[in-house]
Amino acid sequence: MIKMTTLYRLIGITLVTAFALTSCNLPATAAPAGNPATQPPAVSLMAPTATQPPVPTATTAPAATATATVAPTAMLAPTATTQLTAQVIPSINAYCRKGPGSNYYEITFLQAGTAYNVVGRNSLNTWWLVQASGNVTCWMGDPGTTQQGPVDQAAIAPAQPLPVTPATFVDSYNCDATLHTFSVLFSWSAVANATGYRIYRNGTQIADVAPPATAYTDSSAPQGTNLVYGLEAHNDYGVAARKSVSVPSCN
């Protein structure tokens, strides 16, 4: 009885061992011992696959931004300002001359009350070079002239020189009451810028002597009256102040 019991136990142990081995299905070779985390990864021996270039994605165009348009500002109308054009207005109809002085020859005349543009002046600001008409410029110097604008800032304009009055003008005469002849001889000093010398008797011109002459004889002087002779040096622009001498009557 005891032998049968022992046999059954051995058979049972054998069956349990066989069942355990079958259920575990262990591999034929055991993996090497060690930490699995430290094992090198498996290397794939497959051929590398072709790398496709990235397909460009459509770029969205930037949206146009609205630009604010600045409206032009309204320009204010200019306000009235001080007269900027230099002008003179003669108080009377006045001669307009070749130079700044009454001894210059007149060119034209200016209308009283009319404004004329100033293009120059003399250093004393008493005579003005004005635009008369068209391309004509001339000098005016009416003391009653009204000025407007920067007249005193106009450029000082040069003028052509006039001859000066001769320093001397002397006479000698020969009165023959028997023959009833009367002659007067004059002489004077020469001056620069003169193109001639005019001789006057009692206000009437009787001769015009060209340089370099500086003498003249009035061989037909009237008798029975006092005479006044004048000498005037001149050129193309005007005359010098007249110089006079008196000659007594020849009776």
The CATH number of the domain where 190 resides is what?
2.60.40.10
d(CA 84, CA 147): 12
The amino acid sitting at 104 is: Y
Q: In the prediction, which pLDDT does 6 show?
A: 54
Q: In the prediction, which pLDDT does 134 show?
A: 82
d(CA 131, CA 111): 13
Sign of the Cα torsion 42, 46, 50, 52 reads negative
Does residue 109 sit within a domain?
yes
In which domain, by residue range, is 135 found? 87-153
> Which residue, of 153, 178, 210, is where some domain finishes?
153
Residue length, the chain? 251
- Of residues 13 and 176, more confidently modeled: 176
Q: Identify any residues that bridge with 171 across adjacent strands, giving them in sequence order.
A: 186
Does residue 91 sit within a domain?
yes
Helix (H) or strand (E) holding 50: none
Residue 50 has pLDDT above 70, yes or no: no
Q: Same domain for 176 and 240?
A: yes
- Of residues 62 and 171, more confidently modeled: 171
Which DSSP state fits 133? Answer: E
pTM here? Answer: 0.64
CATH for 131: 2.30.30.40
Does residue 33 sit within a domain?
no
Q: Same domain for 148 and 185?
A: no
Average pLDDT for 16-43: 45
Does residue 61 sit within a domain?
no
Does residue 177 sit within a domain?
yes
Does residue 62 sit within a domain?
no
First-to-last C-alpha distance (Å) of the chain = 222
Residue whose pair of structure tokens reads 């348009």 in the numeric block: 69
> Which residue, of 153, 183, 205, is where some domain finishes?
153
- Of residues 201 and 35, more confidently modeled: 201
Could you tell me what percent of the chain has a pLDDT over 70? 67
Q: Same domain for 183 and 238?
A: yes
d(CA 139, CA 27): 137
- Per-residue confidence band for 18, with pLDDT thresholds at 50, 70 and 90: low
Q: In the prediction, which pLDDT does 3 show?
A: 53
| DSSP-based three-state secondary structure for 141 | coil
Residue 196 has pLDDT above 60, yes or no: yes
d(CA 32, CA 38): 12
Q: Same domain for 93 and 132?
A: yes
- Per-residue confidence band for 210, with pLDDT thresholds at 50, 70 and 90: very high
Q: Same domain for 132 and 181?
A: no
d(CA 101, CA 235): 14
Q: In the prediction, which pLDDT does 45 show?
A: 38
Sign of the Cα torsion 33, 35, 38, 41 reads positive
| DSSP-based three-state secondary structure for 104 | strand
d(CA 227, CA 202): 6
Does residue 129 sit within a domain?
yes
Does residue 45 sit within a domain?
no
Q: Is 148 exposed, middle or buried (0-12, 13-18, 19+ CB in 10 A)?
A: middle
The answer to whether residues 139 and 100 touch, using CB atoms and an 8 Å cutoff, is: yes
228: which 2 tokens? 């006044």
pLDDT digits (tens, 9 = 90+) for 53-112: 454 444 444 444 544 454 555 555 555 555 589 999 999 999 999 999 999 999 999 999
Residue 244 has pLDDT above 90, yes or no: yes
Name the domain count of the chain. Answer: 2
Residue 49 has pLDDT above 60, yes or no: no
